[in-house]
Amino acid sequence: MGLFHIFQKQEKQSFPLTTIKVGDWVTQYSAGYWKVISIYPKFADEDYNYNGKSWKRGDRIGDWVVLKKGFTPKMKPSNACDLADAQWCKPVSEEILQSIQAMFNEDAKLRQKFEKAPNMPKPSVASVWLALSDEQAESFSQLILRFPEKFTLEQFWIRCADYRKYIADPSEATHILYLYSYLWEISDNFDPLHFGPELKKLDFSHHT
């Protein structure tokens, strides 16, 4: 089944479903005017059947679009980076596009600032509450430092099986584990890929 998933994923990645292209200027659900930086296929990571829509895990269900903000709705310069589902992205009007091009042509510093702004959105964050002694926390921290660059949640807990029993209710936790990911990065089995595990001790000083 693994080989089938790999073939299925490669086949479905061969073309974007959206008509939007890299370099286009668009609007989305967050206000302003955004430039399309990159487009990634969006796959279902679980079965879904609700309100007339249904798909199976691994189905291609759209595209993820990385967007870079250039202007507010009132054409004030503004920098940000975001990730959106392509279905929410609409091309700007020809009038707006001409205004954007004119502002960049007239102000080299403005264009340079935009081009140097980050091209990656903030990653998604999953959190796990843990009740650990200081010694356990230290050994756990050393273990996660040796993790590969990317891993699934299942792979994480296989390697950290001895610590799974310390998952706790937030009211009883002493530490919190952060696992980061980008929604378009998935394994050959359509599981989210995480990176940069980080363990932090909870600060209770504000309760005293």
Give residue 7's pLDDT.
53
Digit-coded pLDDT (tens) for 23-57? 999 999 999 999 999 999 999 988 888 888 888 99
Residue 132 pLDDT level (bands cut at 50, 70, 90) = very high
Digit-coded pLDDT (tens) for 67-97? 999 999 999 999 999 999 999 999 999 999 9
Q: CATH 2.30.30 spans which residues of the chain? A: 2-116
Give residue 26's pLDDT.
98
Q: State the pTM of this model.
A: 0.83
Give residue 4's pLDDT.
54
How many Cβ atoms from other residues are within 10 Å of residue 72's Cβ? Answer: 12
Which residues have CB under 8 Å from 65's CB, separation 6+?
A: 18, 20, 26, 36, 38, 39, 40, 83, 84, 85, 86, 89
* Cα angle 166, 188, 193; round to 5: 40
Could you write out the three-class secondary structure of 76-121? Answer: CEEEEEEEEEHHHCEECCHHHHHHHHHHHHHCHHHHHHHHHCCCCC
Q: Tokens 């967007």 appear where?
A: 67
CATH code for the part of the protein at 2-116: 2.30.30
**What does the alpha-carbon distance between residue 4 and residue 190 come to, in Å, rounded to a whole number?**
12
Give residue 153's pLDDT.
96
Please check the confidence at residue 205 and state whether its pLDDT lies above 70. no
How many Cβ atoms from other residues are within 10 Å of residue 115's Cβ? Answer: 11
Please check the confidence at residue 170 and state whether its pLDDT lies above 50. yes
Please check the confidence at residue 179 and state whether its pLDDT lies above 60. yes
**What does the alpha-carbon distance between residue 173 and residue 133 come to, in Å, rounded to a whole number?**
10
**What does the alpha-carbon distance between residue 37 and residue 175 come to, in Å, rounded to a whole number?**
37
